[in-house]
Chain A
């Protein structure tokens, strides 16, 4: 079977200020926070890149082992999440090194800004993943994205991802020995594709994947959304 890894470059997705503030641990704002947020957003302009590389692989499950053709991995959670899927998109995405540089610089001179850039970076990479997944959804019947480290899916799977997608060459994304990624504002994930349209799935795992805070037991989490 032939195998193609494709690269996609997105233009800047719109900023969601509410999400940024949530990541910054801010449940209410005043003018000084808004000013801080805006000046930080301005400073990222033109500095971030929005890159994704991905491939579409066949997918099957037997005995809780997920088979992506190029590699296999054991995960009951992923197997159940992709139970109706026969293909999967494996993707890696990053907003580039500049956000890490901004965070490093401002850690020294303004921790408040460093915190804000940290939050912006998180919001940016999620926005990029959302844009990419929305594109997939136009083409396929997809389920929510699922990343190495979620549930019982081992973080170790990152190695397979990087080997397969050659992320360093394609989008400038690298895996560290600790299995963290550089640049830090990056995501790898799996999007299952099924031939039938997605049924309304209220399972806890699907809710979690859709960022539904109500499905999570951590009631006093700083980042919990009011739903």
Chain B
């Protein structure tokens, strides 16, 4: 019988700990246990056999840490081969009458993935792929990916397993005492992602004892449609008389786990500190429990690296602002590679209440695949909201889905055969909830029935690809009422019919309804309310729109979805905020030449923006820059140099100045270069990931009018040189924090002097000194951001 068939009707028993048993048999601290497969095969075989004898159905190979970061390719092959041989030999020797299987054990790589660590996602996939391929070659029967405490690494491992084998894959994560993974994912979020990627079973192991894993197990059972595995530790380790002992004994361990088997856990075993004795006890304690039936869950859910978002309970807000359509400032950011602006749109929407972020960066002349890859990667470093990948390019879509750390929302597929053929295989492979537009080769039907028919067709085709209807959310298309008076009514009936007749969730790009009309937000917000009342599950909308947010929070309160009107009360005040704000700004302070100067010097960000907007009505942009912003910056800059003002205050002022500049930039679109000085290329050198200093310098330089091209951190020297040459930039700033990365700074300077001799290089960073900077060939050293500005101005002034 194969493993999957056996799992259908039985509770499956895994083995217990390996490390503790090996230590007892002489494994030294710091020694790699995987090498024992080769050096002490009889010990490994004996331990496996003891587990089979104790009642385990599955033993896991002694390959937990076997990967390319610890072993050479040749040794890795040898270790995995020997490990599988040892496990098979144990199976032959064991007299146990149970079904016996051998799982290839795959543990974490021992490195953290970017952006938190330095391991690239695809490098992780390839490291896991190597292990999986060797395991398959030497006859593994299933794969256990275990003890993963980072969702992203878990995804890399599962993807590698799926791409390189047809074996059943079980994925087990290590949850902390807070019930979450070390990188923040909840059990529900892990279920969403892992089921999307096709895990055959999923669950939890290690870290905690069986009692502490109860709540994690419950959350997994409530959300999973596949069998759940639980392999706890024997409690916590203690040191008693120089020996390691665990505080949960076999009897208690078995009883606690039996409770979970009763609740529906279908695969059990032990982790650190457990021995064959624990497994024997577990088998006998649970022998009479009927295996619970696996309940498929029907709710639609997407996830990020921390949490999941369900559709169908409360309406979900999808922020639409990361999209160039109709937004000059956003287009400019895309053309200028201004990722920071794009990301700040994401963060701001989250603060306004968006629950998912739509990401669309498609624009002619922009390499969409590359841009989407960068934005998705970087957004995941600054926002924990699930993302909706919005692109018509299948290549860009796949790239983004692969990199996404969670179960994404995908925008979109439609009823055209060509579209379904391209998009559905991606949904099947990577998981995701896909937005399906009710249009096809014949266009958009102008009746509700026509749109529902297309929805049915889409559902049928999705099923053929193995995609469940819960993973389809229909967008029955909001059309403008200025062109067709009945447009809104048709859309609303379709929302209603899709929900009630097909039992599916819906989403709308609400604002289309008002296209061509004045005061659009009034129309949008009422239409939004009507759609919600018809059962709309999600809206792609503008979270900055006060009208829309008012409608949302009011609807939630009226509908009984906002307990004690708590949310409504927390935001209600802001609904009248606009009128209050205008009254508050009339304070006068005689220390400053103007209110704007005061706002900048004091670091009042919002106020600076507000005052600039007011000034712009009567004063030319360049005059505001020269007569207001620059003098304010000079006050602060001098204060900093004279040590009357400290770094946080300098930064707060710089932020206020930046917000004033941003207002000016938006108002003088197309004319953006008027106030700019020269290009200044800035980067943290290769190998170094510290960028706070570099970011501070960038902010100040921007304040002083330099056109800063920020290459980010850990930047290879070739990239820096290429950029400088391409832009013919007269100034480069390099930052390094560590002694270990100064050589890469030196290398960059050498290359710059050769290929871009016109360019002045200024360096800074904790380990540098003036003398050191001179020695590695830099033109200048700056001890802080203001010094960099002064130097840059001196160079620019000479041109």
Contacts and interface: CB of A to CB of B under 8 A. Distances in A.
Interface of A: 1-7, 9, 24-28, 30, 32-33, 36, 49, 55-57, 69-71, 96-98, 100-101, 103-105, 107-112, 114-116, 118, 155, 160, 162-164, 168-169, 172, 174-180, 182-183
Given A111-B692, A178-B118, A178-B687, 15 more contacts: A2-B23, A4-B238, A4-B242, A97-B116, A105-B347, A108-B382, A112-B649, A112-B651, A115-B651, A115-B696, A169-B174, A174-B111, A178-B689, A178-B740, A179-B740
22 contacts: A1-B242, A2-B243, A3-B244, A4-B237, A70-B29, A97-B183, A105-B382, A105-B383, A110-B655, A111-B655, A111-B699, A112-B648, A112-B652, A169-B108, A172-B149, A172-B182, A176-B112, A178-B688, A178-B689, A178-B740, A178-B741, A183-B116
Interface string B106-117: 001011100111
Contacts of B108: 168-169
A169 B150 CA distance: 10
B208 to A, nearest CB: 11
Contact of B603 (A70, A112, A177): A112
A200 to B, nearest CB: 31
Given A24-B648, A182-B118, A3 B347 contact: no
A70 B27 CA distance: 12
Contacts of B382: 101, 104-105, 108
B798 interface: no
Contacts of B112: 168, 174, 176, 182
A96 B115 contact: no
A186 B246 CA distance: 27
Interface string B15-56: 000000001000011100000000000000000000000000
B695 A176 contact: no
B184 A111 contact: no
A220 B197 CA distance: 56
Contact of B692 (A7, A107, A110, A162): A107
B663 to A, nearest CB: 16
A160 B30 CA distance: 8
Nearest to A164: B30
A104 B381 contact: yes
Contacts of B118: 176-178, 182
Given A105-B383, A109-B347, A24 B740 contact: no
A25 B646 contact: yes
A11 to B, nearest CB: 12
A104 B381 CA distance: 7
Nearest to B236: A7
A96 B237 CA distance: 22
B752 interface: no
A151 B54 CA distance: 53
Nearest to A105: B382
B661 to A, nearest CB: 14
Contacts of A110: 605, 651, 655
Nearest to A111: B651
A33 B242 contact: no
B692 A114 contact: yes
A223 B283 CA distance: 61
Contacts of A112: 603, 648-649, 651-652, 654-655
Contacts of B602: 32
B343 A108 contact: yes
Contacts of B29: 3, 55, 57, 69-70, 164
B725 interface: no
Contacts of A172: 149, 176, 182-183
A62 B742 CA distance: 34
Nearest to A5: B237
B239 interface: yes
Interface string B177-199: 11000111000000000000000
Interface in B197-221: 206
B347 A108 contact: yes
A7 B643 CA distance: 44
B344 interface: yes
Given A164-B29, A169-B174, A182-B116, A26 B381 contact: no
Contact of B695 (A24, A28, A107, A160): A107
A58 to B, nearest CB: 11
B525 interface: no
Interface of A, helix, strand, loop or mixed by DSSP: mixed
B176 A49 contact: yes
B569 interface: no
B691 interface: yes
Interface string B394-410: 00000000000000000
A25 B243 contact: no
A71 B30 CA distance: 8
B692 A103 contact: yes
Nearest to B686: A178
Contacts of A114: 692, 695
Interface string B626-643: 000000000000000001
A36 B652 CA distance: 9
B613 interface: no
Nearest to B341: A108
Contacts of B651: 110-112, 115
B647 interface: yes
Contacts of B177: 9
A180 B647 contact: no
A111 B30 contact: no
A176 B110 CA distance: 10
A6 B239 contact: yes
Contacts of B243: 2, 4
B147 interface: yes
Contacts of B643: 27
Interface in B52-74: none
A127 B699 CA distance: 31
B740 A155 contact: yes
B581 to A, nearest CB: 19
Given A32-B602, A155-B740, A174 B110 contact: yes
A115 B648 contact: yes
A119 B654 CA distance: 19
Nearest to A110: B655
Interface centre among B110, B236, B343, B687 (most CB of A within 10 A): B110
A25 B649 CA distance: 10
Nearest to B340: A108
B173 to A, nearest CB: 12
The 6 closest A-B pairs by CB, nearest first: A172-B182, A112-B651, A174-B112, A182-B117, A4-B239, A4-B244
A75 B258 CA distance: 53
Nearest to A57: B29
Given A3-B23, A168-B108, A97 B182 contact: yes
B780 interface: no
Contacts of A162: 110
A125 to B, nearest CB: 16
A26 B643 CA distance: 10
Nearest to A116: B648
A36 B643 CA distance: 20
A183 B28 CA distance: 28
B696 A169 contact: no
Contacts of A115: 647-648, 651, 692, 696
Given A49-B176, A105-B383, A182-B117, A2 B344 contact: no
Given A28-B646, A71-B30, A112-B652, A104 B182 contact: no
Contact of A168 (B30, B110, B239, B687): B110
A69 to B, nearest CB: 7
Interface centre among B112, B347, B655, B688 (most CB of A within 10 A): B112
Contacts of A9: 177
B647 A24 contact: yes
Nearest to A167: B110
B337 to A, nearest CB: 15
Interface in B585-643: 602-603, 605, 643
A204 to B, nearest CB: 21
